[in-house]
Structure 1
């Protein structure tokens, strides 16, 4: 089952499938007709079964393209709309794309690319070199009969530890994730999932596919703005939303979240204890989750009651996901001991495209080695404490950057903090911290930390910034943090 929409329209054609913030709505029959036209136009351009790039924000045309690609047997490669043409050139070349689909807001970037692949737009073509899909007469085509374990999607990793890699996901990966998520979050016939995330992240790509599987509606905003999102949640009686912590924090600052919400799926980055506590105080049904592109989204997810009672946990692994925690010697650790998180199950990706060496390094007999460090408590709850390659080894002691950053954020004037290891001639490494907030006294920050951290965990070098350096995907760029601390840290 690779064309989820084709099956859904037969089961519930009149159910609401898609809602835009301008008030337009599509039933599953309406959406299916739109997808059929889009697929026919792509087929007329000779793109059946091709690697197809997508340079679009999450909007109705994007949802139609996602389903049309599945209908044609294409491998869809959503690209980061925030990247420059020079950065996109590399992504397009690595993905072996046959064509790129853009919109009016991304057409300028698309035509600046040095690659020679054709460019098509879901909007009116107003630039030389761009073909408007609406100007293409749909061709007759035979829907693809692709097996569920064949490649269907390629998403790029964030590239925080080197050059980004292309994660190859099958429809089986995506649907297995959708089923396991439904078991954890629940599904009701009237669910409406608001999706402000970009489709080049798994958290943004998943809701349109999951909603088609469930027979529920997805609401798309075309991007994130706190006021617009709050309004859409209330106006369309949304029952769920996918967010990253920064977005949730901005929503809480901007107003009250709709009473219709049944779940807030929170992932993409670690959520601070302060953010979870704010949700508890305001009755926000937050579900902190741990996942990644390579696992088609969620690995473990906590329900609100658990999240509020055990602040910091991401809950237990989802149904069908096997989680092993390995120590440095490659053997499983005892309950409460930290080690690397290794994941196996039907949601785990098949390979990194064109990189067999990286694929081989990522797997062992236990499954996919995430590079993340964490532990289980006695009740089986998972706690993620950092990255294996980010742990700071100071004087023979291992320090979790996440633990230090959490202590820093408890300072009333600190909004954000990033912690890294810096080379030290005496200790091997010392702890460094780049701090964002209304504070500039390094010794005052250290005094605050002394009350909360053992001596070997204290940040020896502290720097201050207006904001943390981030990659195009929004992940903190640790090497840039390290360079800033070496230049200006105290």
Structure 2
């Protein structure tokens, strides 16, 4: 039988601490969490959620979200984690593409959930884990009896979303086999032991935040969750709970270093750093402060990590993301598909047991997945010792603070303003965010201001996609073929 990992863990170490809510200092043992998950699963079943249903979850990083993740596994429902910062239009797109059958929210996300469900193509019931204004309250239902679902390794367990090069959100089918292979390979590389305490303050719609929650029962580790990243609070959590591992993006690690001095915590052994390339300056700060940073290259399509450098590798070879994880193969390909030699630059192609069987969309799957593996759209090379170096993207996607932003989506929002004639959007270097979204705008009305456009975009885009820099021009630089000359646009900033 292949049940969810919490079911097995409850029979193995029921008294161990499974979950800590850093916002309230409340703890759950494995047995306590297992019982709570059983009640949640039973109430969902009473509402009609069945194996194979698509369960959308719009919750911040809090215990209720952790319980919902494990409840979906217990029921056999496919989890569709959704970002709490998404606009209504973005949520509707994801609900429709994933064919979500029930949407779970909380007090802070109920209004967004109801608005998205109301605009979705299909009827999507909205259920709240808190007291609700209009959504169905989960706690009001008496739980049905639940038989733990027997999963097959090739069954789709999760459908997180990622942004592709066109900006169209793509739902990634991650199987139980993908997740288990990733968990094993990560443990091998990081050198984890059975006494880990992993701190999670990343959003749970990102694999960087989601995977520690899923892996907690597999490793037998404690998960400490905090609903929002605040550097001072996170630093205090590290000390209070003897945190041994955490997942961060460069922006949050920078803030954590700014807010502290010396080492981050004597117990800390692993800082898994992903979501965006780490600068050499950030890595040097970590070395000076004895921060055990593991720079990693990963993708949603590979269930998180693809390659991860150890702290020693990161210090000796700044900029590398290390060697591919156990079972993962990375080849470097030329445009014609031939494999490049060590030191030669090309597109990174990934294969192995962690790689998704594809997207929800068959056309997108055919475009990215081939006989040789997943064509990542990333450019890099392998050195003579097999270490991987990632140099950038084959497309123009902007990576800001660990979030992917498609320029076309931002341009569309800008052009929707009646006083905008034309616009171009690029990513420009930013010390805090890695890249920031910058917009060059041709106004139809000379009185148009950057502040007006910022407010306009906030109603249409996720907050991280709103341009942080807006400048005006008489015309957008274009090539002879009529496409935007992005290098010329960047020169304006």
TM-score by length of 1: 0.81
Q: Which residue of 2 aligns with 1:41?
A: 43
Q: Which residue of 2 aligns with 1:291?
A: 298
Q: Which residue of 1 aligns with 2:422?
A: none
Q: Please state how far the C-alpha of 1:433 moved relative to its aligned partner.
A: 7.4
CA deviations over 1:324-374 (Å, ceiling 9, x no partner) = 111122111111001111111110001211x11111111222111111111
**Residues 160 and 390 from structure 1, CA distance in 2 versus in 1: closer, same or farther, beyond 3 angstroms?**
closer
Q: Please state how far the C-alpha of 1:142 moved relative to its aligned partner.
A: 2.3
Among candidates 16, 19, 23, match of residue 25 of structure 2: 23
| Structure 1 CA distance for aligned equivalents of residues 11 and 95 of structure 2 | 36
| Structure 1 CA distance for aligned equivalents of residues 427 and 303 of structure 2 | 32
Q: Which residue of 1 aligns with 2:378?
A: 372
**1:143-162 equivalences in 2 (<5 Å):** 143-159=148-164, 161-162=166-167
| Structure 1 CA distance for aligned equivalents of residues 150 and 339 of structure 2 | 41
CA contact (8 A) 2:201 2:209 kept: yes
CA contact (8 A) 1:160 1:477 kept: no
Q: Which residue of 2 aligns with 1:423?
A: none
Residue 277 in structure 1 maps to residue 277 in structure 2: no
Q: Please state how far the C-alpha of 1:65 moved relative to its aligned partner.
A: 0.5
Q: More deviation in 153-162 or 80-89?
A: 153-162
Q: Which residue of 2 aligns with 1:57?
A: 60
Matched position secondary structure for 2:159? strand
Residue 120 in structure 1 maps to residue 122 in structure 2: no
Q: Please state how far the C-alpha of 1:176 moved relative to its aligned partner.
A: 0.8
**Residues 68 and 55 from structure 1, CA distance in 2 versus in 1: closer, same or farther, beyond 3 angstroms?**
same
CA deviations over 1:23-82 (Å, ceiling 9, x no partner) = 111111110000000000000001022100000011111111001000100001011100
Q: Which residue of 2 aligns with 1:4?
A: 5
**Residues 66 and 274 from structure 1, CA distance in 2 versus in 1: closer, same or farther, beyond 3 angstroms?**
same
**Residues 436 and 307 from structure 1, CA distance in 2 versus in 1: closer, same or farther, beyond 3 angstroms?**
closer
Q: Which residue of 2 aligns with 1:78?
A: 81
Q: Please state how far the C-alpha of 1:227 moved relative to its aligned partner.
A: 1.2
**1:5-404 equivalences in 2 (<5 Å):** 5-21=6-22, 22-49=24-51, 50-113=53-116, 114-115=119-120, 116-125=123-132, 127-128=133-134, 130-159=135-164, 161-256=166-261, 257-353=264-360, 355-390=361-396
**Residues 389 and 85 from structure 1, CA distance in 2 versus in 1: closer, same or farther, beyond 3 angstroms?**
closer
**Residues 479 and 111 from structure 1, CA distance in 2 versus in 1: closer, same or farther, beyond 3 angstroms?**
same
**Residues 8 and 477 from structure 1, CA distance in 2 versus in 1: closer, same or farther, beyond 3 angstroms?**
farther
**Residues 4 and 479 from structure 1, CA distance in 2 versus in 1: closer, same or farther, beyond 3 angstroms?**
farther
CA RMSD between the two structures:
3.0
| Structure 2 CA distance for aligned equivalents of residues 73 and 90 of structure 1 | 24
| Structure 2 CA distance for aligned equivalents of residues 226 and 286 of structure 1 | 17
Q: Please state how far the C-alpha of 1:189 moved relative to its aligned partner.
A: 2.3
Moved over 3 A (4+): 432-438, 468-488
Gaps of 5+ in 2: 408-425, 433-439, 441-449, 472-483
| Structure 2 CA distance for aligned equivalents of residues 286 and 253 of structure 1 | 16
Matched position secondary structure for 2:320? coil
| Structure 1 CA distance for aligned equivalents of residues 103 and 10 of structure 2 | 28
Q: More deviation in 361-370 or 52-61?
A: 361-370
| Structure 2 CA distance for aligned equivalents of residues 373 and 19 of structure 1 | 39
Gaps of 5+ in 1: 392-400, 406-417, 421-431, 439-460
Matched position secondary structure for 1:169? strand
**Residues 338 and 98 from structure 1, CA distance in 2 versus in 1: closer, same or farther, beyond 3 angstroms?**
same
| Structure 2 CA distance for aligned equivalents of residues 144 and 473 of structure 1 | 38
CA contact (8 A) 2:428 2:490 kept: no
CA contact (8 A) 1:100 1:120 kept: yes
CA contact (8 A) 2:165 2:395 kept: no
| Structure 2 CA distance for aligned equivalents of residues 118 and 160 of structure 1 | 32
CA deviations over 1:414-434 (Å, ceiling 9, x no partner) = xxxx9x9xxxxxxxxxxx873
Number of residue pairs matched by the alignment: 426
CA contact (8 A) 1:157 1:166 kept: yes
| Structure 1 CA distance for aligned equivalents of residues 431 and 294 of structure 2 | 27
CA contact (8 A) 1:71 1:143 kept: yes
